[in-house]
Structure 1
């Protein structure tokens, strides 16, 4: 009974996180960002390009995990990004079996335009926030991501812990 009651105290937090994820993954938001940045990019490739720009070089498998798509789909989409000259593939230095996507100068120029639009969005969101509140939010979210990431794989191990 204790574990069921404890889950309710996190419901509002979980709802907020789901709403953030939903807002960030909304196709209409991506299309608006593409249009505002004045770039020509297939909407399905947009999140991949942004992820490669931010976290590359990045393995195709990790990229697929980050965007919630299967490996083969992301591999085909990375090939499209490569054909357009926005990313290139390379072998991982430590493990030659791993293909990584790396941003190219043309890809960086495109993501710079996207980033400029993102700054404008955030400026509108935070225009009435004290700077200390924005900084605190950033620090707390960073801490949450770090701690939450460390729990990956623990979910299966903890399932029976409160059952006794």
Structure 2
């Protein structure tokens, strides 16, 4: 198999792994958080972006704009996100995580960190560092 085919297969498998709703449900449960697991990926993306429009969020996660808009409204009702004027165009409204949303993401992040540490505990530190560095390089974050 050509290396590009192996890379593609590995990236697909990784995407499947990180997008598993049962993993989100486990993270939420282990964090002691009661949140519809369909809302968690949205909150995660909003938090990672810092500020994002509903249209951009829908495109990013591959869902219909109207669905994302309803789910974002639910996150807003729960006090996990706020709508604010866009920093680039005051006529537009963007989603930003609220303090409660940031706290939830931090809490889940602590649980995720422990899960990943257990998963990779047998890997030498330099292998873990290389994995992170190569993934960051691949997605242009270095």
Could you state the TM-score of these two structures normalised by the residue count of structure 2?
0.92
Return the alpha-carbon distance in structure 1 between the equivalents of residues 102 and 38 of structure 2: 18
Q: Paired residue for 1:66? A: 60
| Gapped regions of structure 1 (runs ≥ 5) | 1-6, 148-164
Q: Structure 1 residues 136 and 9, CA, compared in 2 at 3 Å: closer, same or farther?
A: closer
Matched, 1:119 2:92: no
Matched, 1:22 2:16: yes
Matched, 1:96 2:90: yes
Q: Paired residue for 1:57? A: 51
Q: Paired residue for 2:132? A: 138
- For residue 97 of structure 1, report the CA deviation from its aligned partner: 4.0
Return the alpha-carbon distance in structure 1 between the equivalents of residues 81 and 27 of structure 2: 19
- For residue 8 of structure 1, report the CA deviation from its aligned partner: 3.9
SS at match of 1:90: strand
Return the alpha-carbon distance in structure 2 between the equivalents of residues 127 and 9 of structure 1: 27
SS at match of 2:40: helix
CA RMSD across the alignment: 1.6
Question: Would you identify which runs of 4 or more consecutive aligned residues in structure 1 move more than 3 Å?
Answer: none
Q: Which has the larger Rg?
A: 1
Matched, 1:128 2:122: yes
